[in-house]
Every structure is written in C-alpha cells, then in structure tokens.
Amino acid sequence: MTKMRALFAGAAVALSLGAVPLAALQPARAAEGIAPPALEWPQAGPFGVFDRPALQRGYQVYKEVCAACHSMRLLSYRNLQDIGFSEDQVKAIAAQDQVAVIDDNGDAATRPGLPSDPFHSPFPNENAARASNGGALPPDLSLMAKARKDGTNYLAALLTGFSEPPADVKMADGKYYNEYFPGHQIGMPPPLTADQVTYEDGTAATVPQMAHDVATFLSWAAEPKLEERKRLGLKVMAFLAVLSVLTYLCYRRVRRRVQGH
Amino acid sequence: MSGSTLPTNNKAIKWFDERLPLLSLLRDSLVIYPAPRNLNYWWSFGSLAGFMLVAQLVTGIMLAMHYTPHVTLAFTSVEHIMRDVNYGWLLRYAHANGASMFFIVVYIHIFRGLYYGSYKAPREVLWWLGVIILLLMMATAFMGYVLPWGQMSYWGATVITNLFSAIPKLGEAIVTLLWGGPSVANPTLNRFYSLHYLLPFVIVGVVILHLWALHTSKSNNPLGIDIKGEQDMIPFHPYYTVKDLFGICVFLMFYAYWVFFNPNGLGEPDNYIEANILVTPQHIVPEWYFLPFYAILRAIPSKLFGVLAMISAIIVLFFLPWLDRSKVRSARFRPVYRQAFWIFAVDCVILGVVGANPPEGHWVLIGRLATLYYFTHFLVIVPVISIFEKTLPLPDSIAKAVLGGPAKH
C-alpha cells in the first residue's frame, strides 16, 4: 500500500515534469515568420467598435493601391454603407465600375456598377492574375484578417515590414524581403510609399498610417458583424447573469425543503 | 415501458394516456424519476450534454437552410451566411463553437464517470451506450468540420480518411468508398453533408437508450453506494430540474463568451482560406477535442499500428467495467485510485498539447511516453490497484451520510 503510494508519487512527479511544456500550448511556428507587434485597435475588447474615419481611409488605400492586384470578392459596394458612406456616395462609388453583362440581343456589353454588385476584381481569372504578377497570385483580401494568425496586427506589420535583406539571405528572383512574411521572401513589392494617397480628412499619409488604416478596413471586411456581435453579446451576458442569480436563488429555496443541502 | 400512471382528472388526457402512455412516460422520466439526494454539480453535465445536443440540432438545421454542399460554392455559402443571412453569423458561430462546448461537457461527463465509478455494475450497458455516443459525436464533428471547405477542412479530411488505407487488403477500397472517387472531392463533400445531417439523429436515438438504461439502473452518486430506500432519494423535479437549470445558465455564459467575444479562438485561421488542392498547410491540426487521439496516432511510427492505437484508446473504455475489479465505485473511498485518476487526467492534457505541436524534437518522446501511460493506466494500473487497494469504509446509506443520522422524514 505505502509502496504503491510512493510509486504513484513518483509517477506524478515524472508526469508533471512532462507537463512543463504545457506553457507551450501554442504550437511552435518560428519558421512561419516573426510574431507581429501588438498594436492598439479600437475594435478589440468586449466594447470594441471600429474607427469609422480609419475604415474610410482604409477603403481609400485599398481602392487606390491594393485593388490594382487584390480582389475582395466577398464584398459588395452596398456593404460600404456600414462604414459610414451615404447611400448616394455608395451609388457613386459603384457607378465608377463597369460590369460585364449580356444585353437583350445576347451580345456582350457593360453597364455602370450598382450597390448590389460585388467589388470589381482586377483580373478576370487566376491565370491572368499570375501572368501579371511574375507567377505569384495576389490573394483575395476579403477574409485576410481572419485567415492569418493575429491577422490585423499581421497585416499592419507586413505592410511596414519591408527592408533590405540581411547579408546572409539569398533572395530569389522577383522576391522582396519582409520580416513578417513566412519565409521572409514575398512576391509583393513594397506597396506603400509616403503620400501615395491624399486623405480627404487631412490625415498625413505616412506608410504606418496607411498600413494601420487598411488593416482596420480589412479587419472590418473579414468580420463585418463585429460590432453587432459584441453589442448583442453584452446584452446576452447581462441577461444570463441575472438569470443565473435567479435560478440559483430558486435552487436554494427549493432545496431548503430537503435536508442536507 | 409500462401503462398509464398519470394522475389526472382530465378525461381527454386520461383517454389518450390509456391508449399511448406518452405523458406517463415523460412524467416518469423527467418529473418523478427518483434520484439520489446527494448528486453534486458534476452530475449537471449529463443534462448539459443533452442541452448541447439540442442546441447543435437547432442551429445546424437552420444553417442547412442556407448552406450549399458543392466544392465551388460551399466556402462562399458559409460567408453568405456570415454576411447576408439575418443573424447568420450568430447561427454559425453558435454551431461551430457549440461543437467545442459539446465536447467539453461530454469529456467532463466521462471523467465524472471515471472518478465516481459510474461504469461499474449494474451500469455497464449505460457506460457502453455513452462510449457509442462519443464515437458518433467524433464522426459527426469530423464531417461537420469538412463542410466549410476551407484549407483545414480539405486537408484534415484527406489526412483522416487516408488513415483507413492502413487496413490490410480492404484499406484502399474503403478509402475510395469514403471519398466517392479517387480523391477528396465533391462526392466526398456531399456524402459528409448527408451523414453530418443523419448522425445527430442517430445520436438522439442512442441518447434515448442511454436514458432508458440510466432510469433502469438509476443514477450513481458521489458516494458510489446503492440507493437503499425512499430516504435516499428525491424526485428529479423540482430538485434537479432547478439545479440543472442553474448549471445551464452558468454554462451558457461560458458558451456565450466564445460565441460573442472570441468566436474564432478555438479555430484555425487556415480554415478561412478556401480549400486548395495544390497548397498544403504547413501544419495540419485537427480541432482541439481530437488532439489527444491525434497524439496517440502519431506516437506510433507505423500507420497501421498508429490507427489501431488511436481506435484502441476508445475501445479500451468498453472493457473498463471488467478491468476495474474493485467493488467500491467512488474514488472518494479509493485513495490510490484517486491519485491514479488525476495522473491520468494530466496525461490526457499532455497528449492534447503534444497533438497540437508538430511531431518533432522532444514532442516525439513526450508523445510516446504519454501514449504508453494512457494504455498502462487502463490495462495495468487500474486492474492492479483494484486488486490490492485498501478502500476506506463506506457509509451505511446516502441518507445517513448526508443527514448525519437516520432520515427524519
């Protein structure tokens, strides 16, 4: 009996030594790039809401810079009303696009875009996209902020993470060194330069500012119901907290009838 | 199933109940069902599991109204649910996180059974039915994860279905049957969708058998001793309905935290990339609730024996009622088994961590030791303890232990 206890104590010690790497719950992914610095995002936390001006500036950066190569096929122009554009503004934005249609005679034609149309894609198909980008495919950005670990921070870091490669790194042809990209060699040339866009609200268009704004925009694009979700979540939590107290009081009261509880 | 026992003066209800004693059945199992008076909060996880099953059915059926099971449309249709369907984001996040919640609840339910010896006579069949439910849940969850047709859906499906090719002679044929063709493709998605919709109803059927077996042999209790008479019992309603309701409210807050404030915290970012047969993700990892089994699979450097070990990890549970020979059920009176239980619980957590990490470096050794311990626990430690352990004296009755003397009413 005592021998057995000792045996188990030994086994417990051995196992808890094995449990030390429990701290390493997150899989090691050093090979995939450096963890991006954690920035402050107003949409984070239980009360988080998006910064509307940043969203609109971010859309401007996407439209004037990123959209040259990257599609956002899951978004429609009508969605832009959610980030503070008026109905008329959305109509005007959509009308700048020309949408391919088949007319009444069965001939290929175009018409101005409508709010219900999806965002214009820069390339008609994957082959065309690859052919224009040295064989690399610029990924669709609709879900990018959720498709990477710590996506919003990652996007802001990636867009500001370009530098000259260290002396010991041999770059492949047509690749650019980026500290935060897995493997550090990215097909995308540094997309942002200072004052590349002119913000209507007068914000200085520095590279970190544009990266921050477009990361905010992509964060919204990937999770457009974030604000609705958190608002409802707070109500649900408050409701459940009250209901838990009430059911607990009920339980105590009912249980008073039987002894031992 | 017995005849009408419903005390009612309503002639219409009486007429119906005499012809089909449905209300009597419901009353017998949910109202007057005599339960031990000393059940603690760990017993709330049984009804919680039932609640999660219903939650998954309701959200799942509504998701199915908007989802399209085709490889070219599945991913987009899920995003359509997230963006355009009214409260679609809520349905999908509740369902995806609901699977995790269901497994948390069921794992706690199983460990409660292990701690208090709920698998022992006369509850062996009840225990078996529980293990069958676990197997069905695993199959359902695995196929459900494939439906959004993201990168992890596709590659997870490829890896897991490929395991069947380890079966000698029949392996390849079985894999082709699972795929519905030469690789994971549209027929695979279609049959997984069909089966993902079917299996939950099979689970409902086995849950009914599970409850039938429970109500035949009655609930175990924290003391692990038999019910000896009226003084040991209280009716399920209102004493446990109100307690379980409180438990559900508290658990719902935990569930709501994930759904509303961290909905992707338990998922893999890779599954927000549409399935691409040309690009393999750097690490293919299953959902967290499969990680211990994934670790066991990878601990063995042979595909066939890895698969056998993984399956055996569940199958061994069927034999537990005979591997544990101790007549005392509750670990409260089994000082040595109690320690073995906690070491085993830690071992399962270690296996989970190993499963989340790539099989490299020290993880390989830790995974192998933890796998060895998993089986040693069931096949050696538990049987040996049950033969040599000196158990503590059991109380005479539940009522005596709870009330500190003979029942006063």
The CATH number for A29-75+118-224, chosen from 3.60.40.10, 2.40.340.10, 3.40.50.300, 1.10.760.10, is 1.10.760.10
- Residue B346 is predicted with a pLDDT of 98
Mean pLDDT value across residues B123-150: 98
| SS3 per-residue string spanning B237-299 | HHHHHHHHHHHHHHHHHHHHHHHHHCCCCCCCHHHHCECCCCCCCCCCCCCHHHHHHHHHHHH
Mean pLDDT value across residues A101-129: 96
Q: Given 3-state DSSP classes, what are the helix, strand and coil percentages for chain B, each rounded to the nearest 5?
A: 70, 0, 30
Instruction: Give catalytic status of residue B109 as yes or no.
Output: no
Non-local CB neighbours of A155 within 8 Å, separated by 6+ positions: A144, A145, A148, A211, A214, A215, A218, A219
Instruction: Give catalytic status of residue B230 as yes or no.
Output: no
Mean pLDDT value across residues A226-255: 97
Instruction: Give catalytic status of residue B390 as yes or no.
Output: no
Give per-residue pLDDT as tens, A26-39. Answer: 444 444 568 999 99
Judge: A146–B272 Cβ closer than 8 Å, yes or no. Answer: yes
> Closest to A251 (Cβ–Cβ): which among B243, B273, B362?
B243
B263 touches chain A (CB under 8 A): yes
Number of Cβ pairs < 8 A linking chain A and chain B: 145
B366 touches chain A (CB under 8 A): yes
Write out the DSSP string of chain A: -HHHHHHHHHHHHHHHHHTGGGGG-SPP-GGG-PPPP----TT-STT----HHHHHHHHHHHHHTGGGT---TT-BGGGGGGGT--HHHHHHHHHTSEEEEE-TTS-EEEEE--TTSBPPPSSSSHHHHHHHTTT--PPP-TTHHHHSTTHHHHHHHHHH-B-PPPTTPPPPTT-EEBTTSTTSEESS-----TTSS--TT-----HHHHHHHHHHHHHHHH-TTHHHHHHHHHHHHHHHHHHHHHHHHHHHHHHTTSTT-
Question: Which of A1, A32, A228, A244 should one mutate to test binding to chain B, selecting the residue with the greatest count of B CBs within 10 A?
Answer: A244
Give per-residue pLDDT as tens, B59-110. Answer: 999 999 999 999 999 999 999 999 999 999 999 999 999 999 999 999 999 9
> Closest to A224 (Cβ–Cβ): which among B83, B346, B349?
B83
Judge: B261–A230 Cβ closer than 8 Å, yes or no. Answer: yes
Mean pLDDT value across residues A51-61: 97
B334 touches chain A (CB under 8 A): no
What percentage of chain A has pLDDT greater than the value 90? 81
> Closest to A229 (Cβ–Cβ): which among B76, B249, B260?
B260
What percentage of chain A has pLDDT greater than the value 70? 86
- Tokens representing A139? 């990924």
B395 pLDDT higher than 70: yes
Judge: B346–A229 Cβ closer than 8 Å, yes or no. Answer: no
Judge: A240–B252 Cβ closer than 8 Å, yes or no. Answer: yes
Separation CA B244–CA B223 (nearest Å): 20
The C-alpha angle B169, B172, B173, rounded to 5 degrees, equals: 90
Mean pLDDT value across residues B227-235: 92
- Residue B405 is predicted with a pLDDT of 55
Asked if the ipTM is above 0.85, the reply is yes
- Residue B408 is predicted with a pLDDT of 46
CB-CB neighbors (< 8 A) of A241 in chain B: 253
Judge: B242–A251 Cβ closer than 8 Å, yes or no. Answer: yes
Query: Which residue from A minimizes the CA distance to B242?
Result: A251
Instruction: Give catalytic status of residue B95 as yes or no.
Output: no
Mean pLDDT value across residues A166-178: 91
The CA radius of gyration of chain B, in Å to the nearest whole number, is: 23
- Tokens representing B293? 């089994």
Q: What is the mean pLDDT of chain A?
A: 89
Give per-residue pLDDT as tens, A215-239. Answer: 999 999 999 999 999 999 999 999 9
Asked if B242 and A250 touch (Cβ cutoff 8 Å), the reply is yes
Question: Which of A72, A146, A150, A220 should one mutate to test binding to chain B, selecting the residue with the greatest count of B CBs within 10 A?
Answer: A146
- Residue A8 is predicted with a pLDDT of 52
H or E segment to which residue B235 belongs? strand B233-235
What percentage of chain B has pLDDT greater than the value 70? 98
> Residue B79 corresponds to which amino acid?
E
What separation, in Å, do the N-terminal and C-terminal C-alpha atoms of chain A show? Answer: 35
- Residue B403 is predicted with a pLDDT of 81
> Residue B165 corresponds to which amino acid?
S
Residue with tokens 């049957």: B177
Instruction: Give catalytic status of residue B244 as yes or no.
Output: yes
Q: Are strands A185-186 and A176-177 parallel, antiparallel or unpaired?
A: antiparallel
Judge: B347–A8 Cβ closer than 8 Å, yes or no. Answer: no
- Residue B2 is predicted with a pLDDT of 64
H or E segment to which residue B233 belongs? strand B233-235
